[in-house]
Every structure is written in C-alpha cells, then in structure tokens.
Structure 1
Amino acid sequence: MKKVLLWILDIAVTLVVIDGGIAAFALHNTTSKIHSMDSTLNKASDTKTKSGKSVAYLLLGTDTGALGRDYKGRTDTMMVMVVNPTSKTTTMISIERDTKIQIDGVDAKLNAAYAYGNAEAAVNAVDKLLNIKLDGYLLVNMKGMEQLVDAVGGVTVKSPLTFSYEGYSFTENQDVTMNGTEALAFSRMRYDDPRGDYGRQIRQQLVIEAVMNKLKADPKSALNNDFLDAVSDNVRSNISLTSMRNLATKYRDAGATINRDQMTGTGVMIDGVSYQEMSQDEITRVHNEIGNAGK
C-alpha cells in the first residue's frame, strides 16, 4: 500500500484550494478523523514541505479489521516512501515485517513494534534499524484497500505470477481489471508465492500504484463521498494538515516517476520463531537509497 493515502489527501486538498472550497466540510471531517489517534501532531515535515524539500514517511498497513477495533493487530505492511519534488520521483521501499530487531533487549519482529506500542513506536523502530529520521507516518487498515479500490472504480494491474486465491485467478504477465475484493485477494496471497512475503510486497505495491494512477488521471475522484469515507474510516496519520496542504500544492509532480524496491534478508529460526535477518550491507544499501532518493 504505497503512498496512496498521501496522494489521496494531497489531491483532495489541492482541489479544495483550486476550486475555492468545494467539499471543504467533508474534507475537514476526513482530516480530523485521520488525526484522531494523536493528541499532538508531528510537525517535523512542516518546515520541509513549506520549502519544497524531500520528505520521508512510513506507510503502515495493519493486518486486521477497522481501525476502531479492540484488537489492533500488527503492521504486516511497512514501506518507507520518499517524496522528492525536485527530482519528480517517489521512492517506495518495502521493509520486511519479520525483520529481527530488539525490543527492550529481547528479540522481536519489526511488525511487533506497533502491536506492543503504537504507530510512533513503529516509526522509531524503523528509524533505529536504518539510521534515518522519518518525517511522519500513515497507518492504513489493509482491509480498507478494498474500499479505496472500489471508490476509484477499480484498478488494472499486470500479475507477476500465475495463482488462484479466495476464488480469484490471476495469470502471469496478463493485465487484470479488479474490483476492491479481487484487489485485496491479489495483494494478500503469500504462501503460494515462491518469494513468500517478498512476493506479496510487490503485489501490494502494484495495487497501490494503480490506485494512485487512477487518482492522477481523474483527481476529482478523490472528492467523492465513497472515497473520503474510505479514507476517514481506514487511515490514521500524524502528518499535520499544514504539511498535507504543502504537499498538495508543491509536490504534485513527485509521482511522475515511481521507484520500487525491497529490503531483503535471510530466514533464520531462533527459539522456534522465524525471522528475516538483515545483513549490515543490506541495511547500509537501503539507508543510502533513502538518502539518495531525497537529494
């Protein structure tokens, strides 16, 4: 799930600014709701976005139902997104959820940082792992992708492999137009993919990119009620409204080129628990890629 939410809100805010307040009330309600998890918003990106500098956000996708649930789940999707208006690029790097880290001196998986703490704890864990400083987060209920895809009228992607899942079939190198339910199935399958979770990451990126492309082709679709409802019900963020407005007005060309990558490790078993262990070379590579993407 890529920076789809960021683009959703950026495009919507841009239209409000350009069209003199159209749907302003609905947009206000949407942005108020996505900030409801944070009593204090992270203003780290305000100065950067005001001056048009590149920013790096963490996209977190939870593995269960609505964000208002009692059981909050784990962040099975974790992507660093670097948005650079100068180079007109957006770089998405999927971070393996099973990456071995330390939480309070005990081995743990990276996706446990959110489950044991909160979204900010997940940001801090990624910051520490990669020796970077993220500018904020977007937390997305992965089930919400179904609603987001439907809200833009479906998406078309090219499947990277042939497989069947939850009653749907996909063929390698063939384009398929999918509704929300089918897109969710396409992006969820893991065990029948030869690359496991790494393969699933690629398919999630493809779906999110397809949603973003639909929004770029028809920006006003971000102002329909279904779309705004999907965002408000399934997205939470600590990125301030000031930053969102700056992103909307100054970063619209950053999606001209989308670069996709993954952080890859080696499977290990420790005390009966499977992890992905990242080499220092791989950590350094991803650290450098994030830095270079921001230049």
Structure 2
Amino acid sequence: MRSNTKRKKKKKFLKVIIIFLSIILLAGAGYTYYVYNSVKETANKMHEKSEWSGSKKRENKLDLSANPLSILVLGVDEREGDRGRSDTLMVVTVNPNDNSTYMMSIPRDTKTEIIGRGKQDKINHAYAFGGTNMTIQTVENFLDIPIDYYMKVNMESFKQIVDALGGVRVKNQRLAFNYQGYSFPKGTLNLTGDEALAYSRMRKADPRGDFGRNERQRQVVNGIINEGAQVSSITKLGSILDVLGDNISTNMSFDDMKDIQANYKGARKSVQSIEINGQGGNIGGVYYFNVNEEERTRISSMLKKHLEL
C-alpha cells in the first residue's frame, strides 16, 4: 500500500507545472471573439473568493506592467468531507524585465514552522490545518518572499492536457530506456499523455537518478509550452479550456490573467528549474526533509534577486 501511494505521488510534480503553464499561455489566446469569451468564461469559473488579499511582504502594490511576480501552485487531492493535503507545492517566479521564469518545488516533507500553529511540522500539513491561506503564509515565512497569486490544482488532469494539445515533442539526448510498457529511444519523440507521464517518471534505471528524471520533466514542460503557444484550433482550445476550468481554482481574475499574458509572455522562453538541497531523516519515527539555514538563505536570496526585491 505504501509503495502504491509513493508511485501516485511521483506523478503529481509534472501535472501541476503543465496546468499552470497552460492557463498562463491560453489566457491571452483571444484571436476571435468566440475564443476570447471562452477563455473569459473559463477564467471566471476558476476564480474563487479568497481571504488572501495580497502579501504583506510587499511594500508597494504589485504592478502587472513591470514588477516581477510570484505564484504558489498547490497540487491538492481533496476528498468529500476531507480538505486533504497539498501533496505538491511549487513556487514560480516570473520576471518580465529579463524575460525569465524560475520554478522551485518544495518537498512535501520539508520541516518548517507552520504559521498559525506555533510549531514545526511537514510543510504540506499547513493545508490540512488551515487551507490555502495558512499554506501561503507558511511558504512566505519559509522562503522570506511575497506570494502574489496562488493556483490550486486538482491532480487528475495531466494526461488530458497533453492529449488535448495533440501530444508533446521532446528530444531524448541522454538515455534510451523502456518504462511501463513504453520504449523511449534516443532522438526526437512525439509523446501522448500516457507516454509523457511515463517518460517523466522513470528514475531507477537512470544513472543520474532524480537529476535525470528532473531533466526529462523539464523537457516535457518545454514541450507543453511550445505546443500551447501554437494552439490554433478552436476545437483543441475548447478541449483544453474544459480541462482547466474543471480542475483549477485561483485568486487571479480574468483581468490579471490578461495582464500577465500580455506583459510576461516572453518569460516562457527561459525557464529555469531550481532545486532545494536537504537531507531526509526520521525524527521520533516520522520522516522529514531537513533544510539547513544556509541552504534556505541561499534559495531565498536567489528568489529575492529574481523578484528584484
């Protein structure tokens, strides 16, 4: 049972990135009146009223024509009668001035102070204790940066996005391998949703382990970005919007999305993945991912610089 649970959770990292990037790319795809209204309808469906009214860590109001911004992406597996936990936490910073995007995943077992609880615990427990607001405050405290927006994602839609786009193209330069019944030779590959998931999950047969898997995940992400930027079929766009509208909630308004797409779209051309280093271990029989203060400060300084703070 524990092994099956781990396998399911490994799927989730890539799904969040895919959905987040897709909505940012498609928010401005108004090449006809019909498409514009379809996107607006989807955006309004995703928008939710939230107690989160903006970060107190910003001295001035965020200007979506010039300021770098940050988005917290939460991958949540909610069940009826149970808020669930945020099994995936990703911080995305976007700088329109140098047209770059940083993506950093916070390991779900990271031990840190849970803001509002007054104690140390796994960072993903913040969502179970206090929902989106407590999670944002906890992440802000851990990284010492403002979180401007959030996107909460239902984790069951990755394959649908890839297939709605007609697949993704990647270049497998390092390692030919077989995984979960699929073969991945070296060279350019056109992947379906199922194949993209398998391609991004394999780890044990890769000499580089997690580093190799992360590289393949970035390849698939870039494939999604490229395919999403070239969406020209109203039918294809409609299928994508259906998936997004049913699986994302956010504090971004439609106007916010339009401004972000208009002023930040160049940042999709330079996406950098950031890894946070730490050491896993058991404390009182419970597993935690421990990040020392020097590493936490390094990551915080990197993100602050990218946010021009």
| TM-score using structure 2 length | 0.79
CA distance in 2: counterparts of 1:112 and 1:294, whole angstroms: 27
- Output the CA distance in 1 between the equivalents of 2:129 and 2:235: 34
Contact map agreement 1:215 1:222 (CA 8 A) in 2: no
Aligned length: 288
- Which structure has the bigger radius of gyration? 2
**What amino acid is the match of 1:81?**
V
How much has 1:232 moved relative to structure 2?
Answer: 0.7
Q: Find the counterpart in structure 2 of residue 183 from structure 1.
A: 196
Where does residue 90 of structure 2 map in the other structure? 79
Q: State the 1:91 CA deviation.
A: 1.0
The 1:257–1:234 alpha-carbon spacing in structure 2 relative to 1, beyond 3 Å, is same
The 2-side partners of 1:188 and 1:129 are apart by: 28
Query: In the alignment, what sits opposite 1:61?
Result: 75
Q: Deviations over 1:229-266 (max 9, x none)?
A: 11111111112323211112111211121111111211
Letter in 2 for 1:34: M
Q: Is the 8 A contact 1:75 1:112 kept in 2?
A: yes
Compared CA separation, residues 101 and 194, structure 1 to 2 (3 A): farther
Equivalent residue number for residue 103 of structure 2: 92
1:8 aligns with 2:18: no
1:142 — aligned with what?
A: 155
Q: CA deviation at 1:25?
A: 3.3
From the superposition, tell whether residues 193 and 123 of structure 1 become closer, same or farther in structure 2 (CA, over 3 Å).
Answer: farther
Aligned residue among 45, 66, 79 for 1:33:
45
SS at structure 2 position matched to 1:32: helix
Unaligned segments of structure 2, at least 5 residues: 1-13
- The 8 Å contact of residues 44 and 253 in structure 2, kept in 1 or not, is answered as no
Shift of 1:220: 6.0
Q: Residues 110-133 of structure 1, C-alpha deviation per residue, up to 9 Å, x if partnerless?
A: 122223322222221111111111
Per the alignment, do residues 131 and 50 of structure 1 end up closer, same or farther by CA in structure 2, a change over 3 Å counting? closer
Q: TM-score, normalised by structure 1?
A: 0.82
Which residue does 1:241 correspond to in 2? 254
**Aligned pair partner of 2:33 in 21, 29, 33:** 21
Q: C-alpha displacement at 1:163, in angstroms?
A: 5.9
After TM superposition, list the pairs within 5 Å mapping 1:200-279 onto structure 2.
202-218=215-231, 224-279=237-292
Q: Is the Cα–Cα contact under 8 Å of residues 157 and 210 in structure 1 kept in the other structure?
A: yes
User: Contact 1:58 / 1:79 at 8 angstroms: preserved in 2?
Assistant: yes
Cα distance change, pair 245–202 in 1 and its aligned pair in 2 (3 A): same
Distance in 2 separating the partners of 1:257 and 1:278: 27
1:53-90 superposed Cα distances (whole Å, 9 cap, x missing partner): 1101112223x4xx675555432322211111110111
CA distance in 1, matches of 2:113, 2:211: 22
CA contact (8 A) 1:190 1:200 kept: yes
Higher relative contact order (CA 8 A, sep 6+): 1
CA–CA separation in structure 1 for the residues paired with 2:88 and 2:170? 19
Task: State the identity %.
Answer: 33
- Bigger shift: 112-121 or 127-136? 112-121
- The Cα shift of 1:203 comes to 4.5
Change (3 A) 1:134 1:39: closer
Q: Specify the code of the residue in structure 2 equivalent to 1:96.
A: P
